[in-house]
Amino acid sequence: MAVTRRQTLIILALAALYPLATWFLFATKPMGEWLQIVSISFIYTLPCGIGALVCFLGYKLDKPARFWAYGAPALVMLALTFLSWLFYMEALVCALVAAPVLCLMAFLGGWIMSLILKKTRDGRLSVSVLVLLPYALSPLEQLWQAPHETRVMHNEVRIHAAPEVIWSHIHEVPTIQPQEIPPQWIYHIGFPRPIAATIDRQGVGGRRHATFEREVSFFEVVTHWEPPKKLSFTIKADPEFVPRTAFDKHIIVGGRFYDVLDGTYEIERRGDGTCVLHLSSTHRLSTRFNWYAGWWSEWIMHQIQGSILEVVRKRCEQAA
């Protein structure tokens, strides 16, 4: 039993050195032109190589078993993902978003390696190919421009107040106290909470300044001003202005992979004396897996927009 435990530790240590070295190389600026963390090569082929390596080492240092083929690769990948957050290599939100894909690809790598080892006694060439695959594919991947995709995200809330009251609470937002914001899981994993929004003058061309926690600011220009019905504005987030501690470097707003372009409030009067306040925003995604990143960005933005609307609802109904 003691020998098996020692062999297990050796396998885990060797399996951890490979992704750690790869992460440092992919995160190093001199290699940034050819090696990117937010890429298919890193997100898909790296965990596949980890799974293959775990399976190979388990078969060679211990014995062929389903655990090394199917269970250990995903478990090791999950542990590595947790450690990357624990040691501040990645933000919690990135670890949570990436974990399902990473573990699935690690499982796939272990399964592929187990099939190879059933047909050959050695397997060293095969595991070497899988381990080195991210380094071979990443430079080729950089020759392919990431697709740009825009998505509109919409939230709404029913408010028992007149349109004029609602308008007074959306074109400019006084300081939001922490207890006013409804509990949302995104704020527990590190997203800055909204604080306030000011405007220098009313009407089209007015400049709004929306502030969030940790000195995050968004600069907005009014493009549609129709009180008490509709307010639209462009949104500018300068990635050089947003503190690096506010967001993960891979999902910084206004950066290479993600941006918020505009926002719109619309007040819809209902016949029962209530109104429905709509909040929509347009977002840009520029990754090679927009299908997955888009699903997460929609979920996150619905949480943020929903919490803002809830603050407005409570304030308006208290005022009414």
The architecture of the domain spanning 149-319 is 2-Layer Sandwich (3.30)
pLDDT at 240: 55
Kindly state the tokens that stand for 291: 């299908």
Q: How far apart (Å, rounded) are the C-alpha atoms in residues 272 and 34?
A: 60
Question: To the nearest 10°, the Cα dihedral for 55, 61, 67, 68?
Answer: 0
DSSP 31: G
Quickly count: other Cβ atoms within 10 Å of residue 129's Cβ. Answer: 13
Q: How far apart (Å, rounded) are the C-alpha atoms in residues 284 and 170?
A: 24
Q: pTM for this structure? A: 0.79
DSSP 173: B
Torsions phi, psi for 70 (to 5 deg)? -115, -40
Q: Cα–Cα distances in Å, from 12 out to 6, 67, 76, 192?
A: 10, 14, 7, 36
> CATH 3.30.530.20 region(s) of the chain?
149-319
CA dihedral for 273, 201, 194, 238, sign (positive or negative): positive
Show pLDDT as tens, one digit a residue, over the chain (320 residues).
344 667 777 777 878 888 888 888 877 766 666 777 778 888 899 999 999 999 999 888 888 889 999 999 999 999 999 988 887 777 777 888 889 999 999 999 999 999 999 988 788 899 999 999 999 988 888 887 778 889 999 999 999 999 999 999 999 999 999 899 988 888 887 788 999 999 999 999 999 999 988 888 889 999 999 999 999 999 987 655 554 444 555 566 666 778 889 999 999 999 888 999 999 999 998 888 888 888 888 888 899 999 999 999 999 999 87
Cβ atoms of 15 and 110 closer than 8 Å: no
| Residues in a beta bridge with 280 | 154, 264
Q: How big is the chain, counted in residues?
A: 320
Q: How far apart (Å, rounded) are the C-alpha atoms in residues 273 and 270?
A: 6
pLDDT at 239: 55
> What confidence tens digit (pLDDT) does each residue in 136-187 have?
988 888 887 778 889 999 999 999 999 999 999 999 999 999 899 988 888 8
Return the closest-CA partner of residue 269 out of 166, 154, 152, 155: 166
pLDDT at 32: 61
Torsions phi, psi for 130 (to 5 deg)? -65, -35
